[in-house]
Amino acid sequence: MSKNTSSEYVKLISSDKFEFIIKRDIALFSGTIKNMLSSPGQFMESEQNTIHFRDIKAVILEKVCQYLYYKDRYNNSTSEIPQFNIDPTIALELLMAADFLDC
Amino acid sequence: MSVRSGGKGKIKPPKRQEQSSIEGWESLCKALQSLVKGESENINFYDNYRIAYNIVLHNNGDKLYINLKELLNQHLEEVFSSQVISALSISNTNNPQPNFANMISLKVLKCVWEHYKKVLDLIGPILMYLDRVYCKSAKVPTVHELGKELFRDIIFQPIKYFILDTILRQIFLEREGEIIDRSIIKAIMDMLLELTGTSTKDSVYDTDFEGLFLEKSSEYYRIEGQRLVEECDAQGYIKNVEERLEEEQQRVKNYLSSVTEPKIRNIVEKELISMQLKTVIEMKNSGLIHMLKNEKIDDLRRMYLLLERVTNGHEEMKYIISNYIYDFDKVVNKTGAKDNIADTTFQEARDFKNKLDKSLNLAFFNDKMFQTAFNEAFKFLSNKDIN
């Protein structure tokens, strides 16, 4: 299996089998994802550019993806930054996921 | 991420992770053991990261840390006894080619170090949560730092003097004109720069290597200076010094740390220029005065530039030339009949002054201080003549 390190997109799969395809450099805003994809070893994740999040639900993972795009858009931006809205019902789970993913 | 306060709906508590900790633990340990050998295929990063995460989350980070330390310890001890010892046994004192054998040992060490760094790069990311949360709060070294410390204690310390001696010997040989394997030396230097001392933040390079290197270099160049003044004339001496300065600069570029550059340069300048200053300038039949009389412009320029490097270099040059001018009438009047001593002296002095002016212009870069000194000296001489 050839190592495709220059692919532009990566696939994140939630526990309930939803697939989120996002740009690779945006995914790298999460420290954990960055390690998984760019670590020197031949881990399964970096080989296939796909990560299975076995214990993160789609609704949470979707919010994480939204956040990563938000971060990319407004990082080092001088224009006014809109607030990132989070539904309180998922807040706690989202917090755990954020801690886990280092983002 | 910030959370907007207010809003309806119950906040759902996160699902409690089951404490299938024992199973996860074993799986993680097995994965770490594979990684320590450098095998990372078929290891699922996510699962192992998740297991480590749970362990730290449930306040068992300390157990994981101890376990990791134990694992690395065992691995390094094994590497030491199997690879390092056998590599060193090649280079025992009975070996007819000790230098060659020693370099082979260093090569083995280089491979061991590089493989080990790869291992740390594999393990580090998986245990990132341990680093971030446990290591920070318990104030212990991170996985990478711990790994390097263990390497230093188990593999480096026992053979420290062997490594340092071998490297210094290679540098000595290279200074004597032999060709050595620089890539191995460079790799070992990089290793010395990355390993930190036991109680300091300084690298092993700073605390153990550099001081010794500078000491040995001083000795070497002291002897070299004495040898060169015996074997060369002034011109040859200067050429040799220029070459040595260049050589040491290249050495730093090739395999030493750049912080050493000014220090080694100072040593060469001290031992080869400062210590032999008078001897070289006053060399019979080739020193400064000889060069001036024979208009050796290139040699003069090189001497000027070389001696500029040390504090008394130019002072000494001015002093010697001025003194020569002061005593000009004594030196010159050996030949010539008594009647026209004054004329001869005057003519010779004028000739010499012309040569001096030319040198000032072409070799001494119109140095004002030199010019002032010479003018004073000539004034003094012409006053003498009148009297």
pLDDT tens by residue, B71-96? 999 999 999 988 888 877 766 656 66
Q: How many interface pairs between A and B have CB atoms less than 8 angstroms apart?
A: 93
CB A90 within 8 A of CB B12: yes
pLDDT top residue among B244 and B58:
B244
The distance in angstroms from the start CA to the end CA of chain A is 30
CA dihedral B111→B126→B197→B91, nearest 10 degrees, is -20
Tell me if chain B has a CB within 8 Å of the CB of A82: no
CB-CB under 8 Å, A89 with B49: no
**Beta-carbon contacts of residue A25 (< 8 Å; ≥ 6 apart):** A72
Subunit contact B43:A41, Cβ cutoff 8 A: yes
Cα B87 from Cα B322, distance rounded (Å): 63
Which of B2, B35, B49 is facing A32, going by the closest CB pair?
A: B49
Q: What is chain B's mean pLDDT, rounded? A: 85
Please compute Rg for chain B using Cα positions.
34
Asked if B281 and B209 touch (Cβ cutoff 8 Å), the reply is no
CB atoms within 10 A of CB B50: 22
Q: Which pLDDT does position B21 carry in this prediction?
A: 62
**Mean pLDDT by 10-residue block, N- to C-terminus, for chain A (103 residues)?**
61 90 89 83 77 88 90 84 86 89 87
Q: Return the residue of A nearest to B117 by Cα.
A: A40
Q: What is the 3-state secondary structure (H, E, C) of chain A?
A: CCCCCCCCEEEEECCCCCEEEEEHHHHCCCHHHHHHHHCCCCCHHHHHCEEECCCCCHHHHHHHHHHHHHHHHHCCCCCCCCCCCCCHHHHHHHHHHHHHHCC
B385, B348 Cβ separation under 8 angstroms? no
Ordered domains of chain A (ranges, CATH): 9-101 (3.30.710.10)
Confidence of residue B238 (pLDDT cuts 50, 70, 90): very high
Residue indicated by tokens 């290793």: B191
The ipTM, to two decimals, is: 0.84
Cβ-Cβ contacts under 8 Å, B47 against chain A: 54
**pLDDT classification of B37: cutoffs 50, 70, 90:** confident
Alpha-carbon distance B113 to nearest alpha carbon in chain A (angstroms):
16
* Residues of B in Cβ contact (< 8 Å) with A40: 118, 121-122
3-state secondary structure of B196: strand
- Look at the block and give the residue holding tokens 């309180």: A88
The predicted-structure confidence for B306-360, as pLDDT tens digits, reads as follows 999 998 889 999 998 888 888 877 765 555 444 455 666 778 888 888 888 888 8
- CA of A85: which chain B residue's CA is closest? B4
Integer Cα distance of B181 and B167 in angstroms: 11
Q: How far apart are CA A18 and CA A55, in angstroms?
A: 12
**Which of A32, A45, A96 comes nearest B14 by C-beta?**
A96
Which domains, and CATH codes, for chain B? Answer: 16-159 (1.20.1310.10), 216-275 (1.20.1310.10), 280-383 (1.20.1310.10)
The nearest alpha carbon in chain A to B53 belongs to A100
**Chain mean position to CA B230:** 29
Instruction: Identify the closest residue of chain A to B128 by CA–CA distance.
Output: A32
Cα gap B277→B287, rounded to integer Å: 11
Specify the 3-state DSSP secondary structure of B296.
coil
Q: What is the SS3 assignment for B27? A: helix
